[in-house]
Amino acid sequence: MAQVAQNPVVQHLKVAVPNKYGEKLVGLLHETGSVEIVILCHGFRSSKEETTMVNLAFALEKEGISSFRFDFAGNGESEGTFQYGHFGKEADDIRSVIEHFSGANRVISGILGHSKGGDVVLLYASRYHDICTVVNVSGRYDLKAGIVERFGEDVMHRLKESGYVEVKDKNGSISYRVTEESMIDRLSTDMHAKCLQIDKECRVLTIHGSADEIIPVEDASKFAKIIPNHKLRIVEGADHCYNCHQAELASIVLEFIKECLEQDKAAAP
Protein backbone atom coordinates (compact mmCIF):
# COMPACT_ATOMS: atom_id res chain seq x y z
CA MET A 1 0.00 0.00 0.00
CA ALA A 2 1.10 3.58 -0.58
CA GLN A 3 3.07 5.22 2.20
CA VAL A 4 0.53 7.79 3.34
CA ALA A 5 1.23 10.52 5.87
CA GLN A 6 -0.76 10.29 9.09
CA ASN A 7 -4.13 12.04 8.78
CA PRO A 8 -3.36 13.26 5.28
CA VAL A 9 -5.14 16.31 3.94
CA VAL A 10 -5.68 15.93 0.22
CA GLN A 11 -4.66 18.93 -1.83
CA HIS A 12 -5.26 19.70 -5.49
CA LEU A 13 -2.33 21.72 -6.76
CA LYS A 14 -1.79 23.10 -10.26
CA VAL A 15 1.78 22.36 -11.36
CA ALA A 16 3.63 23.53 -14.48
CA VAL A 17 6.48 21.35 -15.74
CA PRO A 18 8.78 22.50 -18.57
CA ASN A 19 9.31 19.95 -21.32
CA LYS A 20 12.52 19.50 -23.33
CA TYR A 21 11.17 21.85 -26.02
CA GLY A 22 10.70 24.77 -23.63
CA GLU A 23 6.91 24.40 -23.39
CA LYS A 24 5.11 24.42 -20.03
CA LEU A 25 3.05 21.30 -19.35
CA VAL A 26 0.20 22.13 -16.99
CA GLY A 27 -1.25 19.49 -14.70
CA LEU A 28 -3.19 18.96 -11.50
CA LEU A 29 -1.48 17.15 -8.65
CA HIS A 30 -3.81 15.17 -6.39
CA GLU A 31 -1.57 15.28 -3.32
CA THR A 32 -2.39 12.75 -0.61
CA GLY A 33 1.01 12.83 1.08
CA SER A 34 2.08 9.50 -0.40
CA VAL A 35 5.64 9.17 -1.63
CA GLU A 36 4.28 7.21 -4.58
CA ILE A 37 2.59 8.98 -7.47
CA VAL A 38 0.76 7.76 -10.58
CA ILE A 39 1.00 9.77 -13.83
CA LEU A 40 -2.27 9.95 -15.83
CA CYS A 41 -2.11 10.65 -19.59
CA HIS A 42 -5.07 11.68 -21.74
CA GLY A 43 -5.89 10.71 -25.33
CA PHE A 44 -6.18 12.37 -28.73
CA ARG A 45 -7.46 15.97 -28.66
CA SER A 46 -8.40 15.54 -25.03
CA SER A 47 -7.10 16.93 -21.74
CA LYS A 48 -6.53 16.30 -18.06
CA GLU A 49 -10.19 17.28 -17.50
CA GLU A 50 -11.52 14.33 -19.49
CA THR A 51 -13.93 12.28 -17.37
CA THR A 52 -11.74 9.16 -17.22
CA MET A 53 -8.67 11.13 -16.11
CA VAL A 54 -10.63 12.96 -13.40
CA ASN A 55 -12.39 9.86 -12.09
CA LEU A 56 -9.21 7.79 -11.93
CA ALA A 57 -7.41 10.57 -10.05
CA PHE A 58 -10.17 10.73 -7.45
CA ALA A 59 -10.31 6.92 -7.19
CA LEU A 60 -6.57 6.79 -6.48
CA GLU A 61 -6.93 9.69 -4.05
CA LYS A 62 -9.49 7.76 -2.01
CA GLU A 63 -6.92 4.98 -1.62
CA GLY A 64 -4.31 7.46 -0.40
CA ILE A 65 -2.35 7.36 -3.66
CA SER A 66 -1.22 10.64 -5.18
CA SER A 67 -1.60 11.22 -8.92
CA PHE A 68 -0.76 13.83 -11.51
CA ARG A 69 -3.03 14.33 -14.52
CA PHE A 70 -1.58 16.72 -17.09
CA ASP A 71 -2.10 18.14 -20.56
CA PHE A 72 0.31 17.12 -23.30
CA ALA A 73 1.87 20.06 -25.17
CA GLY A 74 -0.66 21.69 -27.51
CA ASN A 75 -3.61 20.37 -25.50
CA GLY A 76 -5.67 21.83 -22.66
CA GLU A 77 -3.80 24.44 -20.64
CA SER A 78 -0.32 23.41 -21.74
CA GLU A 79 1.78 25.52 -24.05
CA GLY A 80 2.58 24.54 -27.61
CA THR A 81 0.62 23.96 -30.81
CA PHE A 82 -1.61 20.92 -31.22
CA GLN A 83 -0.04 18.40 -33.56
CA TYR A 84 -1.50 15.23 -35.05
CA GLY A 85 0.71 12.20 -34.48
CA HIS A 86 3.93 13.07 -32.64
CA PHE A 87 3.69 10.03 -30.36
CA GLY A 88 7.40 10.23 -29.57
CA LYS A 89 7.13 13.88 -28.56
CA GLU A 90 4.37 13.01 -26.10
CA ALA A 91 6.56 10.26 -24.66
CA ASP A 92 9.16 13.00 -24.16
CA ASP A 93 6.52 15.02 -22.29
CA ILE A 94 5.99 12.07 -19.93
CA ARG A 95 9.76 11.93 -19.46
CA SER A 96 9.80 15.58 -18.38
CA VAL A 97 6.97 14.97 -15.90
CA ILE A 98 8.68 11.90 -14.43
CA GLU A 99 12.00 13.72 -14.09
CA HIS A 100 10.22 16.60 -12.34
CA PHE A 101 8.63 14.40 -9.68
CA SER A 102 11.63 12.08 -9.34
CA GLY A 103 13.68 15.21 -8.67
CA ALA A 104 11.27 16.02 -5.86
CA ASN A 105 11.99 12.60 -4.29
CA ARG A 106 8.71 11.06 -5.39
CA VAL A 107 8.45 7.43 -6.49
CA ILE A 108 6.66 7.04 -9.82
CA SER A 109 4.54 3.99 -9.07
CA GLY A 110 2.92 3.81 -12.48
CA ILE A 111 1.97 5.55 -15.71
CA LEU A 112 -1.50 5.20 -17.25
CA GLY A 113 -2.74 6.38 -20.62
CA HIS A 114 -6.13 6.31 -22.34
CA SER A 115 -6.56 5.84 -26.10
CA LYS A 116 -3.61 7.60 -27.81
CA GLY A 117 -2.23 8.05 -24.29
CA GLY A 118 -2.20 4.25 -23.97
CA ASP A 119 0.12 4.02 -26.96
CA VAL A 120 2.28 6.82 -25.58
CA VAL A 121 2.83 5.15 -22.18
CA LEU A 122 3.81 1.93 -23.98
CA LEU A 123 6.23 3.88 -26.17
CA TYR A 124 7.66 5.44 -23.02
CA ALA A 125 8.17 2.00 -21.47
CA SER A 126 9.88 0.74 -24.63
CA ARG A 127 12.26 3.69 -24.66
CA TYR A 128 13.26 4.44 -21.06
CA HIS A 129 12.90 1.26 -18.93
CA ASP A 130 12.64 3.17 -15.64
CA ILE A 131 8.94 2.57 -14.86
CA CYS A 132 7.83 -0.93 -13.92
CA THR A 133 4.04 -0.44 -13.88
CA VAL A 134 2.17 0.62 -17.04
CA VAL A 135 -1.57 0.72 -17.75
CA ASN A 136 -2.76 0.90 -21.37
CA VAL A 137 -6.46 1.82 -21.50
CA SER A 138 -7.90 1.27 -24.98
CA GLY A 139 -4.73 1.98 -26.95
CA ARG A 140 -4.48 1.24 -30.69
CA TYR A 141 -2.21 -1.62 -31.78
CA ASP A 142 -1.99 -0.82 -35.50
CA LEU A 143 -1.54 2.91 -36.02
CA LYS A 144 -2.09 2.51 -39.76
CA ALA A 145 -5.69 1.50 -38.99
CA GLY A 146 -8.45 4.12 -38.86
CA ILE A 147 -6.71 6.53 -41.26
CA VAL A 148 -8.84 5.85 -44.34
CA GLU A 149 -12.05 5.87 -42.30
CA ARG A 150 -11.22 9.28 -40.84
CA PHE A 151 -9.56 11.04 -43.78
CA GLY A 152 -10.49 9.13 -46.95
CA GLU A 153 -8.54 6.84 -49.27
CA ASP A 154 -6.80 9.72 -51.05
CA VAL A 155 -5.42 11.34 -47.89
CA MET A 156 -1.73 10.80 -48.74
CA HIS A 157 -2.25 12.26 -52.22
CA ARG A 158 -3.95 15.33 -50.75
CA LEU A 159 -1.20 15.71 -48.15
CA LYS A 160 1.53 15.56 -50.80
CA GLU A 161 -0.38 18.00 -52.97
CA SER A 162 -1.07 20.73 -50.39
CA GLY A 163 1.11 19.74 -47.43
CA TYR A 164 -1.82 19.50 -45.04
CA VAL A 165 -5.43 18.45 -44.60
CA GLU A 166 -7.89 20.44 -42.52
CA VAL A 167 -10.30 18.48 -40.35
CA LYS A 168 -13.62 20.16 -39.69
CA ASP A 169 -16.06 19.67 -36.84
CA LYS A 170 -19.81 19.04 -37.14
CA ASN A 171 -20.44 22.76 -37.59
CA GLY A 172 -18.01 23.04 -40.47
CA SER A 173 -15.39 24.94 -38.48
CA ILE A 174 -11.74 23.88 -38.78
CA SER A 175 -11.00 21.64 -35.81
CA TYR A 176 -7.33 20.85 -36.49
CA ARG A 177 -4.79 20.48 -39.29
CA VAL A 178 -2.91 17.31 -40.26
CA THR A 179 0.44 17.82 -42.00
CA GLU A 180 2.23 15.28 -44.17
CA GLU A 181 5.02 15.14 -41.57
CA SER A 182 2.61 14.37 -38.72
CA MET A 183 0.81 11.70 -40.75
CA ILE A 184 4.13 10.02 -41.59
CA ASP A 185 5.01 10.16 -37.88
CA ARG A 186 1.89 8.18 -37.02
CA LEU A 187 2.24 5.71 -39.88
CA SER A 188 5.88 5.03 -39.01
CA THR A 189 5.17 4.37 -35.33
CA ASP A 190 5.26 0.57 -35.12
CA MET A 191 3.62 -0.45 -31.86
CA HIS A 192 4.46 -4.13 -32.43
CA ALA A 193 8.18 -3.40 -32.67
CA LYS A 194 8.07 -0.95 -29.77
CA CYS A 195 6.24 -3.36 -27.46
CA LEU A 196 8.89 -6.00 -28.09
CA GLN A 197 11.39 -3.56 -26.54
CA ILE A 198 9.50 -3.29 -23.22
CA ASP A 199 11.52 -4.75 -20.36
CA LYS A 200 10.37 -8.16 -19.11
CA GLU A 201 10.28 -6.79 -15.56
CA CYS A 202 7.79 -4.10 -16.58
CA ARG A 203 4.24 -5.07 -15.55
CA VAL A 204 1.71 -4.02 -18.19
CA LEU A 205 -2.06 -4.06 -17.87
CA THR A 206 -4.22 -3.53 -20.96
CA ILE A 207 -7.88 -2.67 -20.42
CA HIS A 208 -10.34 -2.44 -23.31
CA GLY A 209 -14.10 -2.16 -23.71
CA SER A 210 -15.81 -4.96 -25.64
CA ALA A 211 -18.08 -2.39 -27.34
CA ASP A 212 -15.33 0.10 -28.24
CA GLU A 213 -16.57 1.99 -31.31
CA ILE A 214 -13.25 3.74 -32.04
CA ILE A 215 -10.55 1.09 -31.55
CA PRO A 216 -11.51 -2.58 -31.97
CA VAL A 217 -11.28 -4.74 -28.86
CA GLU A 218 -9.13 -7.20 -30.84
CA ASP A 219 -6.26 -4.73 -30.52
CA ALA A 220 -6.06 -5.52 -26.81
CA SER A 221 -5.45 -9.21 -27.49
CA LYS A 222 -2.66 -8.30 -29.92
CA PHE A 223 -0.88 -6.35 -27.19
CA ALA A 224 -1.35 -9.32 -24.85
CA LYS A 225 0.38 -11.66 -27.30
CA ILE A 226 3.62 -9.69 -27.60
CA ILE A 227 4.19 -7.87 -24.29
CA PRO A 228 6.06 -10.31 -22.03
CA ASN A 229 4.75 -9.36 -18.58
CA HIS A 230 1.14 -8.60 -19.42
CA LYS A 231 -2.38 -8.79 -17.99
CA LEU A 232 -5.53 -8.27 -20.06
CA ARG A 233 -8.94 -7.13 -18.81
CA ILE A 234 -11.92 -6.72 -21.12
CA VAL A 235 -14.79 -4.60 -19.78
CA GLU A 236 -17.98 -6.10 -21.17
CA GLY A 237 -20.26 -3.58 -22.86
CA ALA A 238 -17.89 -0.63 -22.40
CA ASP A 239 -17.39 1.90 -25.20
CA HIS A 240 -14.18 3.80 -25.92
CA CYS A 241 -14.76 6.39 -23.20
CA TYR A 242 -16.26 3.95 -20.64
CA ASN A 243 -19.32 6.19 -20.42
CA CYS A 244 -21.36 3.72 -18.40
CA HIS A 245 -18.42 1.79 -16.95
CA GLN A 246 -16.30 4.35 -15.10
CA ALA A 247 -16.61 2.61 -11.73
CA GLU A 248 -15.60 -0.77 -13.18
CA LEU A 249 -12.64 0.79 -14.97
CA ALA A 250 -11.46 2.51 -11.78
CA SER A 251 -11.82 -0.73 -9.82
CA ILE A 252 -9.64 -2.65 -12.29
CA VAL A 253 -6.99 0.09 -12.32
CA LEU A 254 -6.90 0.32 -8.51
CA GLU A 255 -6.59 -3.43 -8.08
CA PHE A 256 -3.60 -3.53 -10.43
CA ILE A 257 -1.84 -0.44 -9.02
CA LYS A 258 -2.26 -1.62 -5.42
CA GLU A 259 -1.05 -5.13 -6.31
CA CYS A 260 2.07 -3.66 -7.93
CA LEU A 261 2.69 -1.38 -4.94
CA GLU A 262 2.53 -4.41 -2.64
CA GLN A 263 4.98 -6.31 -4.87
CA ASP A 264 7.38 -3.37 -4.88
CA LYS A 265 7.12 -3.03 -1.09
CA ALA A 266 7.82 -6.75 -0.61
CA ALA A 267 10.84 -6.56 -2.92
CA ALA A 268 12.31 -3.48 -1.23
CA PRO A 269 15.48 -4.13 0.84
Please spell the DSSP secondary structure of 85-149, one letter per residue: S-HHHHHHHHHHHHHHHHHTT-EEEEEEEETHHHHHHHHHHHHH----EEEEES--S-TTTTHHH
Of 116, 119, 121, nearest to 133 by C-alpha is 121
pLDDT tens-place string over residues 118-128:
999 999 999 99
Query: For 11-142+191-267, CATH number?
Result: 3.40.50.1820
User: Does 37 or 266 have the greater pLDDT score?
Assistant: 37
Q: How confident is the model at residue 150 (pLDDT cuts 50, 70, 90)?
A: confident
Strand partners, 177: 166
Q: How confident is the model at residue 184 (pLDDT cuts 50, 70, 90)?
A: very high
Q: How confident is the model at residue 103 (pLDDT cuts 50, 70, 90)?
A: very high
- Is residue 8 over pLDDT 70? no
- Is residue 190 over pLDDT 80? yes
Query: What residues have CB less than 8 Å from 130, skipping those under 6 apart?
Result: 98, 108
What radius of gyration, in Å, describes the C-alpha atoms of the chain? 18
**What 8-state DSSP symbol labels residue 256?**
H
Q: How far is CA 165 from the centre of its chain?
A: 26
| Per-chain mean pLDDT for the chain | 94
Query: Domain spans of the chain?
Result: 11-142+191-267, 144-188
pTM, whole model, 2 decimals?
0.94
